[in-house]
Amino acid sequence: MLDFAIFAVTFVVILVAAVLYLYPSSRRASGIPGLNPTEEKDGNLPDIVSRGSLHEFLVGLHDEFGEVASFWFGRRPVVSLGSVDQLRQHINPNRTTDSFETMLKSLLGYQSSSGTGAAETMMRKKVYEGAINATLESNFPLLLKLVDELVGKWESYPESQHMPLCAHLLGLSMKAVTQLAMGDRFRDDAEVIRFRKNHEAIWSEIGKGYLDGSLDKRSNRKAHYENALAEMESTLKSVAKERRGRGPGQLTFLDSLQQANLTERQVMEDGMVFTLAGCIITANLCIWAVHFLSTTEEVQGKLYKELTEVLGEEPISLEKIPQLRYCQQVLQESVRTAKLTPIAARLQEVEGRVDQHVIPKETLVIYALGVVLQDEDTWTLPYRFDPDRFTDESVRKSFSLLGFSGNQACPELRFAYTVATVLLSSLVRKLKLHRVEGQIVEARYELVTTPKDDTWITVSRRS
């Protein structure tokens, strides 16, 4: 179990498990520069654990061996790509499967789209993305209301009050995702609190329990995880049943899935993926964006100018969002600087080549996105928060290639961009954001990059 237990903390983990199960293979070495196994059975897994995360391990790996490097997962070689040029050679823009969906569904024991035919995979993808779009269109006034409630709360605080970003913005994300996905039952704070409790139990074990193997070693924790998962599944099924056949009114994410004639099981599984991933990605995009804005008055000033010119004193609308170009740059730079999702992976379906290196069929190929997002050859001053870098077309193309914007972005990230835009459109027009002096914000690199501890800001009212 150590193989799976340690590796499952990352994006790659679940794909690895699928590879080992579906594609038993030989110890054929790729010939690509990299590490020898630290242990015969576990390969370089102990090295990953000692570095703290797969992302931090890959930073060291590519520093030592270059843009294309290899290491060992158990007795299997793995290839990691750590630059835009190498990823451009390997990424197939026509691929229909989504890495985040594959990872979560496999972890939860659900059938991923990669296990079905191409036509069904494309159909499910269109239904899933269409359901998110329809949900935002139908519920945009509700999203505005939830954001205004939070911003109003911040306005009421004394200017010296320290605001806990993680607590408040995770709360906003939970309310937005549950009410848009499952409807008015989640206007009840008790329901949201119950959902949050189960969400945290599941997500924390994805990040912790599989990292150190303790989930399997401690039956009480495993039971807690399984109970939380079962309760969330039961909630999704009961809400879907309650809403089946309802007349005109609020259109939720689950409603859209049911209108597409998915099975009860498919509705529950897609609902689980959206609520799990949607909450965590949305919350952390909002957290990092507000944090980075609090560190620079210049960027706040530019964003305020755009918001007032485009929106005036009116609330934002879906139609106005594409006009907020600088706001888009702020959010994209927040994703880049935070390395919001630092790992992706693909199974090499046929023998391929990157530069002079041959990648054998059925090799797991890691996209070291966190490494690429801090590459000095791609980004000028990569550790600096600088939204203006996205005025460069080559920068925008590289960012899109990595799957963080445009059609290549996962649906949950596109949803998060919309929620974060609504938040900033209200927050920045009403309040100035200030960082707390002496605060050091460190990142925890898991499936989604989060602050290790709560992050604090103060606010002051605009005159």
Task: Please check whether residue 343 is in contact with residue 10, taking contact to mean a CB–CB distance below 8 angstroms.
Answer: yes
Distance CA 435, CA 457 (A): 5
> Residue 288: phi, psi to the nearest 5?
-65, -40
Distance CA 68, CA 89 (A): 12
Distance CA 196, CA 284 (A): 15
Q: State the pairing for strand pair 68-73/76-81.
A: antiparallel
Q: What single letter denotes the amino acid at residue 353?
A: R
Q: What single letter denotes the amino acid at residue 128?
A: Y
410 is annotated as contributing to ligand binding = yes
Task: Please check whether residue 169 is in contact with residue 286, taking contact to mean a CB–CB distance below 8 angstroms.
Answer: yes
Q: State the pairing for strand pair 68-73/163-164.
A: unpaired
Contacts of 278 (CB under 8 A, 6+ apart): 173, 177, 181, 412, 415, 416
Count of Cβ atoms closer than 10 Å to residue 238 Cβ = 12
Token duo for residue 265: 């099981």
Token duo for residue 350: 């046929």
Task: Please check whether residue 253 is in contact with residue 273, taking contact to mean a CB–CB distance below 8 angstroms.
Answer: no
CA torsion sign for 301, 303, 308, 309 is positive
Contacts of 339 (CB under 8 A, 6+ apart): 55, 369, 370, 373, 374, 443, 445, 449
**Annotated binding-site members for heme:** 410
**Annotated binding-site members:** 410
